[in-house]
Every structure is written in C-alpha cells, then in structure tokens.
C-alpha cells in the first residue's frame, strides 16, 4: 500500500519536479558556475577566474549606476502604485451601482502586454513630434513639443515609464486591495460610527489600513520585486537597434546586453545576475521580517 | 557556499563533457568528397525588401552537391545566432554582422581563407579587413551597406544654406534650417549616439583602434569634435522622438527634418518620394587633420565550427559567395539597394553609376571606414554610453573620453592575450 502511494506520488509530482530541476535549478546552478569562469561565447568554459567577474561587475560604473537608479525607481514606484491602486480600490468599493463594470475597466490594462503598452506609449502618446498625443495637448496651451523619451534634462522619460507602469499595474493591485477590503467586517465600521469616528481619514487611518495589513505587505513585496525585475517596458521604450541609452537602464537590461547581446560575456553576466538575485533576496527577506509577512490581518 | 561549489562542479563536468563532444564533432566532419547527401542549414536575418527570401531559396535550390535548408529568421538575429552557436543544433552556414572577435577567438567559426584564394583582391578591402584576424579570413563579405547624410535641396536653398562641408558648417546649417515645424537634422531618436558611433572620430582624422591595436582617439581633437555634437543638441536643431528611427527615411520624406542620417538602403524610397529634391553627403570633416567619413559594413557568410558538415558547408559557401557571381549580383542589386562586395560587380552595376547612388559609391571608396574587429561590444557599449552622456547630458567630453580610453585599453589588452583560434 505504502509502495503504491509512493509510486503515485512520483507519478504525479515527478514530471513537475523533473521540469523544475531541468529548467530552473540546473540553469540556475549552471549560471552560478559560469560566474566563476571566463565564459566569452561559451556555456562550457574552461578558464577558471575565481571572483574576478564579481569584482569586475561591482567595479563597473554602468552596473552600479543601474543598481542605484533602480533603488530610486523602487523608492518612487512602490509608494506611487500603492497609493494609486488603494485609492482606486476604495473608490470602486464605495460604489453602489456598476461596481463590476468599473472593477473590470480598471483591471483591463493588467491584461495588456507590457510590450504592446510600451509601444503605444512610445509611438502614439509620447512620441516627440508635434502630432503626438501629449504634444498635441501641449500645443493647445501654446507649449513647444517635447521629445519625451529623448530628453534627459529634465528627465521626461521617467514620466513615460512611470505612467505606463502605473496604467498596467494599478488595476491588478486594486483587485488585491478590493479583496482585502471586502473581508473587513462591516461591524467594525458600524462600531466606529457609534463611537463617533468621522467617516473619511479617521476611519481609513484607524480601521481600514490596519485591517489591510496582510494585503499591504504582500502588495509591497510584489511591487518591490517587480521593480527590481523591470525589463519589458524599459527595453521597449528606450532601446533601439544600436543598444540602450545610459540612463534609466534597469540592471536586467544591462545584463541582457552583457551576456546575451553581441558581447556574449556569459561569465560576467552571470555574476551580475547572482549579485542582483542576492540583492532581491536580501531586500525581500528583510522586508518580510520587518513588515511581518504571514501574520494575518487579525494579528495586525 | 556549498551551493556555489556544487555549481562549479556542474559547470566543470559540463565543460569536460562538451570538450569530448566537440572533439567527436570535428572528427566526424566529412572530407571534401563526402559532401553528397549532407543536409546543410543556412541562416539569414530577415531582409525587409520583398523578394529577398525567395531569391536565397532559389540560390539554395540551385546547389546540387548538398541539400540546403534556408532559415529566414526575424527578430534579434545577432542574439539568436550567438545563442545557437553555443549548441550543436545551430546553423552550418550563416550570415553574420561579423563574425565578432570573440566568436573567432572562441573557435566558433571556421577559417575560410582557402575559399578566397585567387580572388581576395576582388573583394572591397574596407569590408574584408574586419573579417580578417591573424592573417586569416573568417567570413566572406556578401554585400556592402553604408550610411550617409541626406539633405533636402529645396529646404537648404530656401534657408540660404550650402550643403555643409565641415562639422561647424553642419552645426550652423542645422540651426538655420530649424523652424517651428521642421527640425534641421535627424540623427536618430537618441540624438546620434547610437548611429554615429565612431564616424565623428574618423571625420576628425582619428580612429577607433589603430593598426597596431591601440586606442585611436586618445587625442584632444576627439573631445573637440564630440562637443560639437552636443552643440547640435543644445541648439535644439535635432529632431528627437520621431515615430520611425534613423534607419527609416520616413522623417525625412515627410518633411519633419531638413537633413537626416540614414542608410544607403533608404535611397530608393527617398528617390521615389522626393524625386530630385535631395542630395547626399558624407559626415563632414572636422579640424585640420579631418576628412569626411562614412561607415561601411558587410554581412559576412560564415561557417559554424559546431555544425556536423564543415567541409560540405565550406564548399557551399565557396560555390555561392565566391563562384556564383551571377547570384551575388542578383542578391546585391535586385531587391534592396546595396553595393556588391566584389569590386568587379560593383563596377558593372548600372544602377550605381549616376546620381546619389554614384555619390554613395564614391563616398564608400574614398571615405569609407569599417568598424575594426578589435572594437569589441564591451568597448562599443562604453563609448556609446559616453557619447550619449556627452550629446544629451552635456557631460564634459574630456572626462568621459578618459574613462572610455581606460576601458577600451583594458578590452584591447584582454583580446590580445586571449587564446589564438586553433
């Protein structure tokens, strides 16, 4: 009996475990291995270089700059998305009618591909010529056309990047918040009203937010990881046939060019990937500890 | 720590295994006579011009000694081939924007020197040189592409501007030609850092890498020239954020800009839309030592060292890209607009004898420079980042260039000490 159970266990789990090992763990370990070799144009290098790739990567201004840029980006996009999607959720949650309609409307962008959204933003809304949508609107107020993605001073490209990301992401996190909001016991609000708490800020601050604690922790965690893994919309907005400009360059985009572009420096690229993975791991673990991931709403 | 050690073991075992496999692969490569029946796979990147794919299929079908399967690959071709060359399932014959020095040194491509015996002199030396390393040839140039400056005659005339012959004149002209509706010059949506690359340095009489493998722009003139590119940006003379980038002549023919840097490939479209109302120029010279410059490049046909049929593949490449001049002529001139890599064919081509096309051929011969083989992607990235910061960020060219020179020196050092191809 026991033997049969084991057999069935492996029959069901085996294929997935095998797939996971083959397509995730082996490449992962292989990449860690590569990071200790001089691996130009080969995945089976022979020239062991120890930690050279790591020191080279950490001394590489372009890589360190991209890490710094992304700390700043994270510090901005995480609170912005948080506030924006929470506001949407609160608004939709208060609706008496057509709630399902607005929920769907705000969620729809999440179903749009990053690539498609990036191209729409780049080519029709924020293109630099006078007939782009944003420039047409500017023109009504007598403004000069702005080359949104090409201007570095002021860095207008952030406006494009942040708006496309907000548009794509806010709906998804709104759904998470809505689920959280709907689990809050209405009795709490009634009790607060009886105790004289004015609806609005006081209720939000003392009832809604604490009750949303578990959802918030999960949302912030996901947002931070997403921010560090940014690639799609950056690549599609800013890269051209000749490469990627030296600003707003996410670490992953830089590594993509190092390891997989014509450079094919797979050792150096792997070292960068390991460094990035370590940073994400440290940040995530630290954040989970600090915010108390896994505690339930009731504990909060 | 245990994890990384295990990773090492895995990689080490993999390396040993692959070494064995590679050994087997080259042993079973057939001799010259055994080519019959071999099936070769040949890769091309996706050409935009109609009919090119059918043409290469036709050439392949005409080859009798082996069956050739053509793969037409859209998307990031350089990345695709680079990844495929790491495996045994890649192409036998492929066109490549190179091969790169790392591909040659890594033993990923096969020595093709013998194939060109007797006809080396018929290949344009500017494009054959970057395919040559260590005295041997690693790719056979297929067709030559070049870039140049297109200008709109009527707009220049209205503004009272002569076609610029120096970089200073270009800066002035672009400024004068800029109005509220039309910009003076389009160098790509990034302000020129990507497409110009080393061109301004050559126009200043400098080089990316010298003959003897040193940095070729460690010179105050470089900073002076690059600062003028920032001037173009600061004057707001540059078109930025156009819907189609520099490689597409749309911005130029739609009247968004009076001058545009683009490729020879754009010439038929420009001529169709604008008739005679345009002219072409090389990148204008700068400074006393300067001379005009245009970048030239060629896709090369290369043979993968990992394919199972190296000899058969070499024979096919020789047949198509050395012997069948009729196909080469057809490929260069019937679809897109390129200059044949063979001097004898370029001389015969009627379409290249007059007007802007003739100018382009003359620029290629007189002012053409090809990116040196020693200019590695890492050097390119460092230089292009710096150029971008100089043009758009207004960063000091001296400081930026110093950092680039340091980085490039390191790269040149690395490739000099890397192992020679076997």
Distances (CA, A) of B402 to B201, B399, B415: 15, 5, 20
Same domain membership, residue B383 and residue B283: yes
Residues 85 through 124 of chain B touching chain A, CB cutoff 8 Å: 85-86, 98, 100, 102-103, 105-106, 108
Closest CA to B231 of B189, B267, B273, B185: B185
> What backbone torsions phi and psi does residue B173 show, to the nearest 5 degrees?
-60, -45
Q: How far B244 CA lies from chain A's nearest CA (Å)?
A: 8
Residues of B in contact with A29 (CB under 8 A): 3, 6-7, 10
Q: B67-73 and B39-45: which strand pairing?
A: parallel
Tell me what ipTM this predicted complex has: 0.78
Q: Are both B248 and B263 inside the same structural domain?
A: yes
Quick: pLDDT tens for B86-102.
Answer: 888 889 999 998 898 88
Cβ-contact B68, B319 below 8 angstroms:
no
CATH (domain of A76): 1.10.3720.10
Looking up tokens 């897109």, which residue turns up?
A: B336
CA dihedral sign, ordered B12, B14, B15, B17: positive
Residue B199 lies in a domain: yes
Residues of A in contact with B261 (CB under 8 A): none
When pLDDT is cut at 50, 70 and 90, the band that residue A193 belongs to is confident
A104 touches chain B (CB under 8 A): no
Count CA atoms within 13 Å of residue B340 on its CB side. Answer: 26
Tokens of B117: 């015996």
pLDDT tens for A40-59 read: 888 888 889 989 999 999 99
Question: Are both B333 and B383 inside the same structural domain?
Answer: no
Q: Which residue of B has its CA nearest to A155?
A: B393
As a whole number of angstroms, the distance between CA A297 and CA A181 comes to 11
Please give the tally of structural domains in chain A: 1
Whether residue B139 sits in one domain with residue B42 = yes
Query: Is B7 part of a structural domain of the chain?
Result: no
Residue B20 in any domain: the answer is no
Contact list in B for residue A45 (CB cut-off 8 A) is 11, 15
Q: In which domain, by residue range, is A277 found?
A: 48-291
pLDDT at B163: 96
What is the C-alpha to C-alpha distance for residues B248 and B263, in angstroms, rounded to an integer?
8
Interatomic CA distance for residues B64 and B324, integer angstroms: 13
Note whether B217 and B330 are same-domain residues: no
pLDDT of residue A296: 54
Pairwise CB contact (< 8 Å): A41 & B188: no
Do B69 and B116 lie in one domain? The reply is yes
Are A88 and A174 spatial neighbours (Cβ–Cβ below 8 Å)?
yes
What is the distance between the alpha carbons of residues B235 and B360, in angstroms, rounded to a whole number?
29
pLDDT digits 0-9 by tens, A209-237: 989 988 998 999 899 988 888 899 999 99
CATH number at residue B305: 3.40.190.10
Q: Are residues B267 and B315 in the same domain?
A: no
Q: Are residues B276 and B355 in the same domain?
A: no
**pLDDT range class, residue A129, cuts 50, 70, 90:** confident
Q: How far is CA B292 from CA B165, B192, B231, B282, in A?
A: 8, 17, 19, 6
- Together in a domain, B111 and B208: no
SS3 B302: strand
Q: Which residue has the higher pLDDT, A294 or A164?
A: A164
Residue B253 lies in a domain: yes
* Shared domain check, B314 and B267: no
Q: Considering CB atoms only, which of A132, A245, A263 is closest to B378?
A: A263
Task: Select from B369, B385, B408 the last residue of a domain.
Answer: B369
- Look at residue A38 and give its three-state secondary structure: coil
> Under an 8 A CB cutoff, do B239 and A29 touch?
no
What is the C-alpha end-to-end distance of chain B, expressed in Å? Answer: 36
First vs last C-alpha separation in chain A: 45
Residue A11 lies in a domain: no
Choose among A45, A242, A262: nearest Cβ to B82: A262
Q: What would the two tokens of residue A33 be?
A: 């291995």
- What is the distance between the alpha carbons of residues A107 and A273, in angstroms, rounded to a whole number? 32
Tokens, residue A46: 């022979």
Q: Is residue A174 in some structural domain?
A: yes
H/E element, B336? none
The answer to whether A296 faces chain B, any CB pair under 8 Å, is no
Chains A and B: how many Cβ contacts under 8 Å? 149
Buried b (16+ CB within 10 A) or exposed e, B361-384: bebbeebbbbbbbbbbbbbbbbbb
DSSP for residue B244: S
- Between CA A113 and CA B186 the distance in angstroms is 31
Look up the domain containing B398 and give its range.
148-294+374-417
Asked whether residue A251 is domain-assigned, the answer is: yes
Nearest chain B CA: its distance from A44 CA (Å): 4
Is A202 contained in some domain?
Answer: yes
Total domains present in chain B: 2
Does residue B58 sit within a domain?
Answer: yes
Tell which residue, A201, A204, A211, A207, has the closest CA to residue A179: A211
Share of chain A above pLDDT 70, in %: 97
Per-residue pLDDT, A294? 61
Is B6 domain-assigned?
no
pLDDT in tens, A248-279: 899 999 998 888 877 788 999 999 999 999 99
In a domain, A27, yes or no: no
Return the number of other C-beta atoms located less than 10 Å from residue B52's C-beta.
17
**In a domain? residue B382:** yes
Query: Confidence class of residue A300 from pLDDT cuts 50, 70 and 90?
Result: very low
On average, the pLDDT of chain A sits at 88
* pLDDT confidence of residue A293: 66
What whole-number distance in Å separates Cα of residue B149 and Cα of residue B278? Answer: 10
Q: Which two tokens stand for residue A199?
A: 């609806």
The confidence score (pLDDT) of residue B28 equals 37
Residues B184 and B210 in one domain: yes
Residue B261 phi/psi, 5-degree rounding, is -85, 125
Mean pLDDT of A173-193: 91
pLDDT at B24: 40
Same domain, B229 and B198: yes
Write out the E strands in A102-235. Answer: none
Low-confidence ranges of chain B (pLDDT < 70): 1-37, 419-422
Q: How far apart are CA B416 and CA B213, in angstroms?
A: 8
Residue A121 contacts residue A164 (beta carbons within 8 Å): yes
User: CB-based contact (8 Å) between A241 and chain B?
Assistant: yes
**Nearest one of A280, A279, A262, A260 to A270, comparing CA atoms:** A260
Distance from CA of A21 to the nearest CA of B (A): 13
**Which residue do the tokens 């096969």 mark?**
B110
Show the tokens assigned to A245: 């400009």
Instruction: For residue B12, tell me if it sits in a domain.
Output: no
In a domain, residue A28? The reply is no
CA atoms of B346 and B358, how far apart (whole Å):
11
d(CA B388, CA A238): 13
Q: Is B19 on the interface with A (CB under 8 A)?
A: yes
């Amino acid at each position: 009996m026991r033997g049969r159970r084991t057999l069935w266990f492996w029959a069901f789990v085996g294929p997935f475990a095998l797939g996971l090992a083959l397509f995730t763990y082996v490449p992962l370990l292989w990449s860690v291995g590569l990071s200790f070799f001089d691996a130009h144009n080969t995945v089976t290098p022979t020239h062991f270089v120890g930690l050279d790739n790591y020191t080279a990567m950490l001394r590489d201004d372009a890589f360190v700059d991209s890490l710094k840029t992304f700390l700043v980006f994270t510090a901005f996009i995480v609170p912005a998305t948080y506030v924006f999607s929470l506001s949407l959720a609160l608004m939709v949650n208060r609706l008496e009618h057509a709630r399902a309609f607005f929920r769907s409307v705000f969620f729809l962008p999440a179903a749009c591909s990053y690539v498609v959204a990036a191209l729409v933003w780049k080519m029709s809304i924020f293109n630099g010529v006078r007939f782009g949508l944003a420039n047409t609107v500017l023109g009504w107020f007598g403004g000069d056309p702005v080359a949104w993605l090409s201007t570095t001073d002021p860095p207008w490209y952030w406006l494009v990047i942040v708006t496309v990301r907000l548009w794509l992401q806010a709906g998804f996190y709104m759904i998470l918040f809505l689920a959280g909001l709907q689990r809050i016991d209405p009795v709490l609000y009634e009790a607060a009203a009886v105790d004289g708490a004015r609806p609005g800020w006081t209720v939000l601050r003392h009832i809604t937010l604490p009750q949303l604690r578990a959802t918030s922790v999960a949302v912030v965690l996901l947002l931070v990881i997403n921010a560090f893994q940014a690639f799609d919309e950056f690549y599609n907005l800013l890269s051209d046939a000749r490469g990627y400009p030296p600003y707003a360059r996410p670490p992953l985009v830089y590594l993509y060019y190092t390891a997989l572009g014509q450079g094919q420096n797979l050792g150096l690229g792997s070292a960068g990937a390991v460094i990035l993975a370590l940073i994400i791991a440290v940040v995530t673990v630290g954040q989970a500890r600090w915010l108390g991931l896994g505690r339930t709403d009731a504990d909060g | 720590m245990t994890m990384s050690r295990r990773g090492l073991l895995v990689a080490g075992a993999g390396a040993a295994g692959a070494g064995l496999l590679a050994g087997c692969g080259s042993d079973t490569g057939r001799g010259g006579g055994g080519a019959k029946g071999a099936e070769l796979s040949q890769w091309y990147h996706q050409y935009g011009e109609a009919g090119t794919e059918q043409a290469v299929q036709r050439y392949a079908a005409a080859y009798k000694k082996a069956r050739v399967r053509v793969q037409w690959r859209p998307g990031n071709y350089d990345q695709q081939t680079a990844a495929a060359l790491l495996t045994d399932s890649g192409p036998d014959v492929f066109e490549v924007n190179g091969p790169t020095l790392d591909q040659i040194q890594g033993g990923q491509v096969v020595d093709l020197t013998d194939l060109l015996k007797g006809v080396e002199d018929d290949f344009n030396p500017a494009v054959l040189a970057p395919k040559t390393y260590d005295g041997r040839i690693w790719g056979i140039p297929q067709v030559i592409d070049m870039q140049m400056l297109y200008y709109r005659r009527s707009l220049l005339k209205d503004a009272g501007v002569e076609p610029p012959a120096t970089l200073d004149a270009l800066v002035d002209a672009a400024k004068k030609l800029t109005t509220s509706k039309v910009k003076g010059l389009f160098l790509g949506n990034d302000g020129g850092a990507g497409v110009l690359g080393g061109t301004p340095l050559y126009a200043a009489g400098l080089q990316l890498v010298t003959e003897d493998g040193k940095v070729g722009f460690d010179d105050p003139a470089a900073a002076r020239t690059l600062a003028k590119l920032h001037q173009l940006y600061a004057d707001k003379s540059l078109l930025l954020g156009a819907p189609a980038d520099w490689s597409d002549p749309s911005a130029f023919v739609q009247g968004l800009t009076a001058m545009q840097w683009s490729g020879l490939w754009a010439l038929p479209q420009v001529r169709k839309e604008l008739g005679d109302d345009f002219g072409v120029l090389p990148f204008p010279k700068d400074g006393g030592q300067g001379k005009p410059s245009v970048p030239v490049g060629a896709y090369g046909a290369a043979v993968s060292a990992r394919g199972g049929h190296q000899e058969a593949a070499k024979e096919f490449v020789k047949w198509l890209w050395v012997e069948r001049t009729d196909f080469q002529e057809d490929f260069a001139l019937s679809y897109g607009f390129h200059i044949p890599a063979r001097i004898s064919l370029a001389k015969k081509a009627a379409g290249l004898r007059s007007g802007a096309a003739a100018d382009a051929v003359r620029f290629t011969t007189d002012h053409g420079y090809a990116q040196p083989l020693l200019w590695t992607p890492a050097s390119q990235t460092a230089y292009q980042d710096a150029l971008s910061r100089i043009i758009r960020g207004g960063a000091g060219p001296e400081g930026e260039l110093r950092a680039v020179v340091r980085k490039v020196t390191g790269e040149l050092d690395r490739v000099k000490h890397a192992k020679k191809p076997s």
